[in-house]
Structure 1
C-alpha cells in the first residue's frame, strides 16, 4: 500500500505550530530554535511531507537556486569546488544546478539560458573571460554573478579566487631557489583560458638573466604533458626541472620521463600546479601549488546566499595558495 504524502497542515497539526513557523523551518530561517527545527523535521519524516519547491517559488518569487558553469568536471579540483558549493548551499536549503561549457563561450551562453529557465537566481562563473552576450543576458534580468578561480583588482565584477600569475611566479622562483636555472614550463593552450594565460604571464615575469627558461604549449591533459616532455628531451637534455602549470600535465611528464628511462627527481625535477588528490600518492609524491578550491566554493556560496537573503553586497576576496613541497624536486 502506497504511503500517504503529508501536507504542511498535517505537520502543523502534529507539532502544534503555525504554518508560518513550519515554513520558516523549511526555508532555513535562523529565527527558529533548534528544538523547534528538530520537532518539525521529525514530524515531516513521520508524515512523509516534503516541501514543494515549485509552489514555494510561486508564493515567494524565489527558487533558492544557484547556478554554476565550469569548463569541465574531469579533474578533482573542480569536484572539490562543486562539492563545497553544494554542501554550503544545502545548509540553508538552497540548491545547485550545474552546467559544463568545455571552455566554449557559445556553449556557455546556451547553458546559461537553460539554467535561467530552471529559475537560477545567481550565477557562479569560472574565470573572468566570457562573451558579451552572457553579460547582457544576466544583467538584462538583474541576475547577480561572481567570477571564481581568478584575481584581478582591475576588474570591477566581484570575484572570489586566487592570484594565478602570482602563484606561478612563486613556483618558478621556488625552483630557482633549489638551484635550477634551466627550466621547462609546460602549460595548456593560452587562448583557451584566462587562468592559463595568467599563469604563463606570472612564470615569464619570474625569469631573469641568470635563467634559461623554455615554454611548451600543449593540450591540457596527461597525453599533452607526455608529448611536451618528449619534445623537450629531443630539443634540450640540459634542462634540470619541469614546471607544469597543471597537475594533469605533471602526470603526463611522469609518463614521458619514465618512457625515456629517466628518474624523478634524480634525472629531472618535476613540479605541478593544483594539488590534485592523487599528487600525494604518485611516486615520488608531487611537489605542487595548492589551490584553495574548497575554501573558494564555500566562500562564494555564502556570499551569494547572503546577497539573495539579505541583499548583502558581494565582496571580492583573494584566497591564498601555497607551495606544497614533497619529493619530486631536487635541491641542486
Structure 2
C-alpha cells in the first residue's frame, strides 16, 4: 500500500512536473520522454508511491487490466505466450489477469464472468470455438476480445495466430518430399481443440499423396503419445513416419520407439509441432514446426493496448511459422 499521505501531488512537487505528466507516466502513457519517465519513476520509488487502482478505475473507467483464458499452463508453448503478453502489457502500464479453462466451455464462461467482474478491460481467448453465451456476453458488455493461436481470414471476429490446417499440410509435404508414403498422424482429442481439428483437416486434405495416411487420437500428454505410438508401431501398414500434432506427443513417440527397440530416424521418423525448448536437445533433435508463441503474445498485447488507448481496430493477423529441420526425419528417396 502507499505510504500514508503520499499522493500524486507529492510526486509532482518532488519532480517539479505537473500532476497530468505524473499521471501519464504511472498509467503507462506514451506521450512523455524517456528522461521524464525515469525522473517520475525514481521519485515514486523514493516516496514509496503507488497508483491506487480503484481510484484510477473510477476516474478513467478502465482498470488497465487485461484478462487471458488459456486451456492449460502445463505446456511451455502457453507459458511462453502468457509471459510475452504480461511483459508487453507491463511495459505499457497494464496488468494481466489469467484463468485456466481446461478446454471446457463451461469453465471458460465461468472464468470470463469472474475476470470481467474484476474489471478486465479486454479478454484474450485461445482458439476459434467458444460458447454463444460467452460471445453474447462480450458483445452486450462491449468488451474487446481477440481469438489467438489460430488465424481465419473469414472470421468476423479478430483472430491472431497461424493457419493450423496449412501448417499440417506443409508438415506432411515435408515428409512426402523425403519419400515417406506411409504416415501416421498422432493428435490430441478432437473434441477439446479447434486447432487440433484444423490440423487433422489439413492433413486429410493431402491424403492422396500417400499410400497410407492414418490418424490416431491420444490424450494430450507424453503418456498418451507413448501409448498411442507404441500400439501403432505394431500396425500392419508399417508406417515409416509419425507426424505428431504437438511436440509433447512427439516426446511420447520417442519413448515408445525406444521401448520397442526402434531407432529414430533409422527405423522410423518422428516430426513434431510447436518447437518447444527441449526439442533441439533430445537425441536425435526433433524436426518440428516452430510456432511463434512469444511473437504472438507480444502482438496480441500490443494490438489490445492500441485499441484501448487509441481506438485502433482489432483485426485478424496471420503470424508466420516455419519447419525446423533437424535429425529425426530420414530421407527415403
TM-score with structure 1 setting the length: 0.97
The answer for unaligned runs of 5 or more in structure 2 is none
- In the alignment, what sits opposite 2:184? 184
**Aligned twin of 1:292:** 292
Which residue in the other structure is 1:42 paired with? 42
Aligned equivalent of 1:130 = 130
1:319 aligned residue: 319
Give unmatched runs, 5+ long, in structure 1. none
Answer yes or no: is the 8 Å Cα contact 2:185–2:215 preserved in 1: yes
Q: Residue 157 of structure 2 contacts residue 315 of structure 2 at CA under 8 Å; is this kept in 1?
A: no
**Alignment match, 1:160:** 160
Aligned residue pair count = 331
2-side partners of 1:196 and 1:208: how far apart? Answer: 21
Instruction: State whether residues 4 and 48 of structure 1, in contact with CA within 8 Å, keep that contact through their aligned partners in structure 2.
Output: no
| 1:121-157 deviations in Å (ceiling 9; x for gaps) | 1111101100111011111100011111112222110
Report Cα offsets for 1:295-319 as digits up to 9, x if no partner: 1111111111111111111121011
1:19 CA drift (Å)? 1.4
Mapped contact 1:101–1:111 kept (Cα < 8 A): yes
Taking structure 1 as reference, are residues 128 and 234 closer, same or farther at Cα in structure 2, changes over 3 Å only? same
Q: Distance in 2 between matches of 1:204 and 1:282?
A: 29
1:105 aligns with 2:99: no
Counterparts of 2:120 and 2:298 in 1: how far apart (Å)? 18
Q: Which whole-Å CA distance do the structure 1 matches of 2:221 and 2:115 have between them?
A: 28
- Once residues 154 and 14 of structure 2 are traced to their aligned partners in structure 1, the CA distance between those partners, rounded to angstroms, is 56
Mapped contact 1:5–1:47 kept (Cα < 8 A): no
CA distance in 1 between partners of 2:60 and 2:67 (Å): 19
Task: Determine the structure 2 residue equivalent to 1:94.
Answer: 94
> Which residue is 1:261 aligned to?
261
1:174 has 2:178 as partner = no
**SS of 1:176 mapped into structure 2:** helix
Is this contact kept in 2: 1:69–1:99, CA < 8 A?
yes
The corresponding residue for 1:235 is: 235
Secondary structure at 1:124 match in 2: strand
Could you say which residue in structure 1 is the equivalent of 2:200? 200
Secondary structure of residue in 1 paired with 2:233: helix
Give the corresponding residue for 1:220: 220
**CA offsets 1:14-47 (integer angstroms, 9 cap, x no match):** 1111212111111122222222111111111111
Q: Which residue of 2 aligns with 1:65?
A: 65
After TM superposition, give the deviation of residue 3 of structure 1 in Å. 6.8
Name the SS of the counterpart of 1:208 in structure 2: helix
Name the residue aligned to 1:277.
277
Per-residue deviation at 1:4? 5.8
TM value normalised by structure 2? 0.97
| Alpha carbons 1:287, 1:326 under 8 Å: kept | yes
Match of 1:69, SS state, is: strand
Residue matched to 2:115: 115
Which residue of 1 is the match for residue 26 of structure 2? Answer: 26
- What whole-Å deviation, never above 9, does each CA across 1:158-196 have from its counterpart, x for those lacking one? 110100000000001100111110111101111211000
